[in-house]
Chain A
Amino acid sequence: MPDNMVKTESPAAAKLSMKDVNRSYWLWQFFSHANYNYERMQGGSFAMCMAPIIQKLYPKKEDQIQGLQRHLVFFNTNPNFGTLIHGAAIAMEEQRAGGADISDEAINSVKTGLMGPLAGIGDTLDQGIIIPLIVALGISIASQGNVMGSLLVLVLLPLVLMLIAHYFFVKGYRLGSSAVTSVLSGGKMKRLIGAASILGCTVMGGLISSYVSLSTTITFNVGKEAFDLQKQLFDAIMPNLLPLAVTLGVFALIRNKRVSSLKAMLILIVVGFFGGLIGIF
């Protein structure tokens, strides 16, 4: 028996095939937010993708009950990059079923310990950079009346996100509970985020020029000459000066003054509407 325990620590004693791991991935891919709720967030979905794994690994009914209950707890992370956790959890369950001394707490602490950092990194990368970039390209094509822009988002975006989710799911399974340190530490991730931020910022800068529009109609007399504020001051300094100022202004409000996005939206609506009504814009 002790001999057996040592053996099961190694992947050679694997009881699961890649087919099982992939099946679990697809269950997560489809149903990660199927019953998203305040009480346990993605907890039910985590249990759902682990259910076939638990069934296969534990022949005894009590173990199956415990296994299902073990994963039917609060869980919330980034659904694409966070799949590292699912893979690692499967690897740990497999080792445990093989007789390795892995407690409930060990599995739980890997899950809860990883879900926070991966939510942060994952949301920054997908919602903050990857999605806005692909969507911005789609917008720039579609807004000119070319439906390829919409189709680009419809096809490319799910493909990219699924490739990421699958990659980290399998990677998590291969690395097991050591997944945490190997992916999160090391400068490569940081550099990648840095490079992606640069790309993101460049495109956002372009979007400001292309899509934010504001110009003033104010003119006043300087001596005998009429002075057109827009043409003779703002445009003379730099094209699209006002759109840049507005965007950075909104950014400063949200970031530094902690104004909510809803309030910022209301400010823009009120200023825009009355400015337009009384004729200064």
Chain B
Amino acid sequence: MNWLQALILGLLYYLSDAPWFFGEGYYVLQRPVVAGFLTGLILGNPVQGAIIGATMNLIYLGQLNVGGSMPSDMALAGYIGTAIAISTNVSTEMALTLAVPLGLLGTVWWVGKMSIDSVFVHWADRYAEKGNARGVMLMNWLPSAVMMLFFKVLVTVIICMYGTGLVEAFLTSVQNTGVLHGFEVIGGLLPALGIALNLRAILKKETIAFLLVGFLLVAYFNISIIGVALFGLVIAAIYFQYTKEDADYAG
């Protein structure tokens, strides 16, 4: 990885929580399945980037950012984690384990940003007192954008340029021990967390049967996820039709 590549990754990392991609950076560019692919594109291996990012994304499938909280920074894991994984040529399971500490590290800046941005809203107050609409609008993005661009590019370049060596040194030191297998087991387990977290929002006594339908379809018939989604869509449509009758009775 050279400086220019690290710089572009930093820019992408900034964009993943910035307004410029239709305001969807936070929802889309942040996802490791996208971030991994873009990182791979920059490092000259988009396919491997997509594979690593997709696998990594399983951990964050159920992440709910509510009430201004961010349990994990999946963008930091997605961009920098994939970059280090490609540079050090580790297995996908290992990359998954690498994502965890990076994602947790990212929550530190989030708290800082959410606090400092509170100052900028007072700057907007001052413009509002004068009835300056342009000033109010400008204060809602410019100070935070300048701050975050500078900070995120800096952090990315530092971690990319020095982190790769650290990970390589670590991998050499644990070679031929059971440690790597331990990491691989973790890599297989972590998707369970992402799925379980998502189930918080949708799994109830009434829907557990449908979870089992999806599970069994793949366990016994090895159907692709798109196939499972199509079966799910049919079942959901049936539910929607049948509950309509009840609603009519009630109404």
Q: Does A3 contact B (CB under 8 A)?
A: no
Of residues 24 through 77 on chain A, the ones whose CB sits less than 8 Å from some CB of chain B are 27-41, 43-45, 47-48, 51-52, 54-55, 61-62, 64-65, 68-69, 72, 76
Q: Verify A30–B185 contact, CB threshold 8 A.
A: no
Q: How far is the CB of A65 from chain B (nearest CB, A)?
A: 4
Assess the A161–B24 pair: CB atoms within 8 A. yes
Q: Is the CB of B133 within 8 A of A271?
A: no
Across the interface, which residues of A come within 8 angstroms of B106, CB to CB?
none
Contact B139 A44 (CB under 8 A): yes
Q: Which residues of A contact B163 (CB under 8 A)?
A: none
Whether B85 is near chain A, meaning CB under 8 Å from some CB there, is: no
Which residues of B have CB within 8 Å of A250?
192-193, 196
A279 on the interface (CB 8 Å rule)? Answer: yes
Given contacts A39-B121, A201-B208, contact A246 B68 (CB under 8 A): no
Most buried by B among A51, A200, A205: A205
A203 to B27 CA separation, bound complex (whole angstroms): 20
Complex CA–CA separation, A192 to B237 (angstroms) = 10
Q: Are B212 and A265 in contact (CB under 8 A)?
A: no
Q: How far is the CA of A48 from the CA of B36 in the complex (A)?
A: 33
Docked complex Cα distance between A144 and B140 (Å)? 41
CB of A206 within 8 A of CB of B189, answer no
Bound Cα distance from A137 to B228, whole angstroms: 10
- Which parts of B215-251 form the interface with A (CB within 8 Å)? 215-220, 223-226, 228-229, 231-233, 235-237, 239-240, 243-244, 247, 250-251
Q: CB < 8 Å: which of A72, A137, A153 contacts B31?
A: A153
Chain A residues 200-227 with CB under 8 Å of chain B are 200-214
- Bound Cα distance from A195 to B121, whole angstroms: 40
Q: Pick from A131, A158, A204 the residue with the most CB of B within 10 Å.
A: A204
| Secondary structure dominating the interface of B | helix
Contact of B53 among A54, A142, A203, A255 (CB under 8 A): A142
Given A64-B131, A65-B128, A129-B201, residue A268 in contact with residue B218 (CB < 8 A): no
Contact present for A51 and B137 (CB under 8 Å): yes
Q: Does A229 contact B (CB under 8 A)?
A: no
Compute how far the CA of A212 lies from the CA of B189 in the bound complex, rounded to whole angstroms.
Answer: 6
Q: B27, B50, B100, B192: which contacts A208 (Cβ < 8 A)?
A: B192
In A161-194, the 8 Å CB interface with B consists of: 161-162, 187-188, 191-192, 194
- A127 at interface (Cβ–Cβ under 8 A)? yes
Stretch touching chain B among A10-18, A93-101, A236-244: A236-244
A-binding residues in B (CB < 8 A):
17-24, 26-29, 31, 33-34, 36-38, 46-47, 50-51, 53-55, 57-58, 61-68, 71-72, 97, 100, 104, 113-118, 120-121, 124-125, 127-131, 133-134, 136-137, 139-141, 143-145, 178-179, 181-186, 188-193, 195-204, 207-208, 210-220, 223-226, 228-229, 231-233, 235-237, 239-240, 243-244, 247, 250-251
